[in-house]
Amino acid sequence: MGGKRPLSLLAHRDWVLARIERQPNIPLREMLADLHQRGAKAGYQALWNLVRRANLSEKSLHASE
């Protein structure tokens, strides 16, 4: 019970981080829509977990949607 689960978006991690670097104020929901178009089957929380584990702060993202 508990523990760290593997990231469901691990295959898209590099794309997500590059996208944030290019457009740091992108809303996470917009990025999630783009990920769905790329075939990713993950939710908002999975994306937020990926961003958080990459040590990006809320100040570097437009997370207050």
Q: Indicate the DSSP class of residue 29.
A: H
Structure token pair of residue 1: 């019970």
Residue 53: per-residue pLDDT:
86
Residue 39 lies in a domain: yes
Parent domain of 18: 10-60
Cα separation, 60 vs 42, whole angstroms: 22
> What is the number of structural domains in the chain?
1
Flag residues of the chain having pLDDT under 70.
Answer: 1-6, 57-65
Residue 65 lies in a domain: no
Confidence (pLDDT) at 29: 92
- What amino acid is encoded at 4 in this protein? K
Q: Is the pTM of this model over 0.75?
A: no
Residue 49 lies in a domain: yes
d(CA 47, CA 32): 7
SS3 call for 55:
coil
Per-residue pLDDT, 49: 87
